[in-house]
A = this chain, B = another copy of it.
Amino acid sequence: MINHLSDLSNEMIPAVEMELRDVLRFKEHGDDLFYGMMHYHMGWVNEELDSLEVNGGKRVRPLLCLLACAASGGDWKRTVPAAASIEFIHNFSLIHDDIQDASPTRRGRLTVWKLWGVSQAINTGDAMFALAHTAMERLSTRDVDDSISLQALRMLDNTSLELTRGQFMDMQFEERDDVSVDDYLAMINGKTAALLSLSAEIGALVSDCRPEIVRHFAAFGRDLGLAFQIRDDILGIWGDETVIGKSAATDIETRKKSLPVLHGLSKDDTLRRMYEEEDSSDEFVAAVVEHLGQTGSREFAESFEQKYVDSALAHLEAVSPEGKAGEALLQLTGSLLNRQF
């Protein structure tokens, strides 16, 4: 099979990078550190603000956006500002997440708050949130109608609200012992799926296809996001360390209330008691995983994952994605879910 995903990525990602850098370009003298902290987070400079030759992340969301545009018959180049905007939203949320989770590192580098303190990191995220909008407002420089640009901005802000709502729930879950599967689905819907949905939706919106098609793309992105997050939850317990790059069962150590765990907790009182203990020894973690096996929690989560995969594929099929971009969209879906279609 020809790798259209790789071909198109090689064209699309540099275009997105150029747009990202253009929006984050130093505007005034003395702004070095103000923009510098954003450049650092994007992976472009080191902590002394010297340029780096690095790979700045996978840019999954921009790619999804541009492929959705091309696959629905649009000119993806006109959608690049939207793709950049979405990438900024994602990164703004990461800067704030890292403060909220007290994470010292991300992708093997110190986090912004760790280097420059919490106050400056809050402000850096805020600045990037503003610039995400500035990026979207550049659609009109690519001959996109004002009404479409406005609609894209409205979608962006609805999604940002969903994102903060998901983050609110996620933080609340840490203190709640009554989290239901529905609560969990609402949380990942906001925290993970909303932005993937927006990516596909705006791509289709800018290509000016029928509202019905735009809705299918949005639903495709949402289901893809839900399946992706649930798969991540499964890997967080049963993943292969050598593949996922973090120790398996990390999520058990941190007592994360992921989907398999929520299922297990609802089925097994012993597990519920164990989850309240502070023990993080290998033996203890192994015992928890054993219990989760017995409660059928892995199968439970996999059935949800499968449901969302099937639904995502059905929405994708409904729009009959065109040409190479259509193929690439299927390949991207496969690579995100670690499957082949």
Residues in chain A within 8 A of chain B (CB atoms): 30-31, 33-34, 96, 99-100, 118-120, 122-123, 125-127, 129-131, 133-134, 137, 140, 146-147, 149-150, 153-154, 156-158, 160-161, 164-165, 167-168, 171-172, 183, 186
Contact = CB atoms under 8 A, between A and B. Distances in A.
A158 B131 CA distance: 8
Nearest to A29: B186
Given A134-B158, A134-B161, A96 B126 contact: yes
A137 B123 contact: no
Contact of A99 (B119, B127, B134): B119
Given A119-B99, A119-B171, A168-B120, A130 B157 contact: yes
Given A133-B133, A153-B137, A154-B134, A99 B122 contact: yes
Given A122-B122, A150-B140, A30 B186 contact: yes
A164 to B, nearest CB: 4
Q: Which residue of A123, A147, A149, A156 has the most chain B CB atoms within 10 A of its CB atom?
A: A123
Given A129-B129, A137-B154, A153-B153, 14 more contacts: A96-B122, A96-B126, A100-B119, A100-B123, A118-B118, A122-B125, A123-B171, A125-B126, A126-B126, A127-B168, A130-B157, A130-B164, A133-B133, A133-B160
Taken together, the copies of this chain in the complex come to 2
A119 B125 CA distance: 13
Identify whether the interface residues of A are mostly helix, strand, loop, or mixed: helix
Given A150-B137, A153-B137, A129 B127 contact: no
6 contacts: A96-B123, A126-B160, A126-B164, A129-B160, A133-B160, A134-B154
B119 A133 contact: no
Contact of A153 (B123, B133, B160): B133
Contact of A147 (B31, B119, B146): B146
Contacts of A171: 119-120, 123
Nearest to A161: B130
A165 B119 contact: no
Q: Which residue of A33, A126, A160 has the most chain B CB atoms within 10 A of its CB atom?
A: A126
A123 B34 contact: no
A236 B13 CA distance: 52
Given A137-B150, A149-B150, A150-B137, A123 B167 contact: yes
